[in-house]
Amino acid sequence: MERLFDNRAVSDDARPGEADFDGAGNSISSQDLRAAGWEPGRLLGLDSAALRWPHTGPGEPDNVRADGQQVRVSGSGNAVSLLVAGTSRGGPGGDVTGSGTVHYWDGTTSAYSLSAPDWRGGPLATKAVALPHINTRSGGPLAEKAKLYAVTVPVHEGRSIRSVTLPRDAGPDSDLHVFAASVRRQESAWTGSWTTSTAGYTTVGPWENQTLRLVVHTSAGGSRTRVKLANTFASGPVRIGHASVVVQSEGATGRGRPVRLEFGGRDGVTLPAGAHAVSDPVGLQVPPDSNLLVSIHLPGRVEAAPVHSEAQQHSYVSAGGSGDRTGDTEGTAFTGSLEVWPFLTAVDVRGGPGSVVAFGDSITDGVRSTPGANRRWPDVLARRLRAQTEVPQYGVLNQGISANRVVSDRYPGDGVSTDTGGVSALHRLERDVLAQTNAHTVVVFEGINDVRWGASPEEVIAGLKEFARRAHERGLRVVGATLTPCEGYKDCFPEVDAKRNAVNAFVRDNQGTFDAVLDFDAVIRDPARPQRMLPAYDSGDHLHPGDEGLKAMGESVELNKLVP
């Protein structure tokens, strides 16, 4: 792509006039990029694609303004990923959109539409990275976020891609800029066994020269494994000194010596802001329905981290300054406790049929289920899948976030915050569903928080339609689930129940939005009073089912509805 570069986006702070990203003399700071870990030539893991930041210096051409150029990419996969941003000469603007073509080696083509958020006016919730200021040609720096975005376009799976034709000129006052492009490969040889969604970026510890030992529960098993570590929402890089994985024996003690994890053949890895890394595969017999201990050594000082806050699982941390304990078999060094999952977002196993994504809010997250017992409804579903042979024994990936909403963000997507309700379902769809390892089906069970906090049924329905459209565009089967009752909860007023019923009527009527429907409302409501949960299924707060209610939900799923 470098031969096509015709625009200079990045300048040195001391020489801002050497670049003009937007046609108005403004540019991105090279110092800010380096501080975020985005050094020239750096390979960045973004939404399960590998995108290389241009190997250029400040003031050199580093991107192409899309105008029908043909970009060489190679491989087969489930999407083409592009690192982009839109610009407007009149200041912060809206998305810059256009249509292009994917070309395959067999002579066929497929069309796509691409939307690049504006580097100044676009949302923080979907950015790949946000930088703290903008260089101007005159007048000094602007204390305004500069943002870059990773976006994907659909392809025909199984066909070998030759090139991509970029969209034509966006217009006289705006441009669509492309910095990098690559194929996001289809991971058909792997099955996702465990995942969690990054829900926010919070203060932690601080941790310094300490080891985290995180407990996670597998759904599928296999003879080889790998893990994903992510620095989602961060503004700066984090150094992982060493990492390891072992089957849990008890507490922080492993069943044998932990297996060392490498990243590109090296013991550790630095995660740039917003990026992730996947470990090299290792030989470890991972049993299904078992606990693993994933250990992460943090040699430097870490004061904030991306976390999943409602782990419903007790994990461990070694004492301050205790060093690299990733190789410890015994758990004696792990004197502290954690109730969140920082950095770790996935565990994959080799082989298997692929995965089902359970996407939702606190009910999917298992809030108010018994901690450490793995009684969330996706856990129940995973055990049922393993115990039968009528349909594939899929892995089940829990992508629930407590307090999450379909159409609006709780956490804004940038900065240190105490809010861990995540960005909206629509804003996290790419990362938490479309980029998941060998996912075939997604169950979307979300919307009760929207109607409780002011959204109209029409807004939720529109959001669910958009969610399904985008998932279908990428070849996933989409299963919708009805919203469960909540009478008795502090803000579940009659008008909320009316909105819930309106959303449920849409889900049940379906009209082509979903490939199948799960009626969780019918499963756990009280027949004598349908606006409330059956008391035997209630955790006690009237919003969240307890263990028995979650069991009933998991057992109610007709397994053939999950099969594409």
DSSP 197-258: ---EEEEEEEEEEEEEEEEEE-SS-EEEEEEEEE-TT-SS-EEE--EEEEEEEETTEESSSP
Give the phi and the psi of residue 553 in degrees, each rounded to 5. Answer: -65, -50
DSSP letter for 370, please: P
For residue 102, pLDDT beyond 80: yes
Picking from 481, 527, 477, 476, the residue whose alpha carbon sits closest to that of residue 508 is 481
**Structure confidence at residue 170 as a pLDDT band (50, 70, 90):** confident
**Structure confidence at residue 511 as a pLDDT band (50, 70, 90):** confident
Q: Give the list of residues 6+ apart from residue 140 with CB closer than 8 angstroms, or none.
A: none
Three-class SS state of 304? strand
Distance CA 561, CA 564 (A): 8
Q: Is the peptide bond before 206 cis (omega within 30 degrees of 0)?
A: yes
Question: pLDDT digit string (tens) for 282-336?
Answer: 999 999 999 999 999 999 999 999 999 999 999 999 999 999 999 999 999 999 9
Q: How many CB atoms lie under 10 A from the CB of residue 9?
A: 28
b vs e for 507-529, b when ≥16 Cβ sit within 10 Å of the residue's Cβ? beeeeebbbbbbbbbebbbbeee
Q: Domain 353-562 adopts which CATH fold?
A: Rossmann fold (3.40.50)
Question: pLDDT digit string (tens) for 184-212?
Answer: 998 999 999 999 999 999 999 999 999 99
**What is the residue-wise DSSP string for 55-102?**
---TTS--BEE-SS-EEEEEE-EEEEEEEEEEEETTSS---EEEEEEE
Domains of the chain, residue spans:
2-185, 200-346, 353-562
The bridge status of strand 355-360 relative to strand 439-445 is parallel
**Structure confidence at residue 40 as a pLDDT band (50, 70, 90):** very high
Q: What percent of the chain has pLDDT over 90?
A: 97
Q: What is the pLDDT of residue 398?
A: 98
Mean pLDDT of all residues belonging to the chain:
97
Q: How confident is the model over 500-515, as a mean pLDDT?
A: 96
Both structure tokens of 317 = 């941390």
Q: What is the side-by-side order of every strand in the sheet holding 174-185?
A: 64-65, 174-185, 77-88, 146-154, 129-131
Are the C-beta atoms of 60 and 6 separated by less than 8 Å? Answer: no
Question: pLDDT digit string (tens) for 523-555?
Answer: 999 999 999 999 999 999 999 999 999 999 999
Q: Give the list of residues 6+ apart from residue 155 with CB closer than 8 angstroms, or none.
A: 76, 77, 78, 79, 80, 102, 110, 161, 183
**Structure confidence at residue 3 as a pLDDT band (50, 70, 90):** very high
Long-range contact pairs involving 552-557 (C-beta distance under 8 Å, separation at least 24): 552/523, 552/524, 553/377, 553/380, 553/520, 553/523, 553/524, 554/377, 554/378, 554/379, 554/380, 554/381, 554/384, 555/380, 555/384, 556/518, 556/519, 556/520, 556/523, 557/381, 557/384, 557/443, 557/518
Q: What is the pLDDT of residue 138?
A: 85
The bridge status of strand 77-88 relative to strand 174-185 is antiparallel
Q: What percent of the chain has pLDDT over 70?
A: 100
Both structure tokens of 429 = 């769809």
Are the C-beta atoms of 170 and 68 separated by less than 8 Å? Answer: no
Distance CA 233, CA 202 (A): 10
The bridge status of strand 238-240 relative to strand 269-271 is antiparallel
Q: What is the pLDDT of residue 91?
A: 86
The continuous run of DSSP H or E covering 363 comes out as helix 362-365
**Structure confidence at residue 15 as a pLDDT band (50, 70, 90):** very high
pTM above 0.75, yes or no: yes
Q: What is the pLDDT of residue 16?
A: 97
| Cα separation of the two ends of the chain | 36
For residue 169, pLDDT beyond 90: no
Q: Where are the alpha helices (DSSP H) in 399-546?
A: 425-429, 448-452, 457-473, 494-509, 520-524
Are the C-beta atoms of 370 and 551 separated by less than 8 Å? Answer: no
Question: pLDDT digit string (tens) for 237-289?
Answer: 999 999 999 999 999 999 999 999 999 999 999 999 999 999 999 999 999 99
Question: pLDDT digit string (tens) for 126-148?
Answer: 999 999 999 999 888 999 999 99
**Structure confidence at residue 90 as a pLDDT band (50, 70, 90):** confident
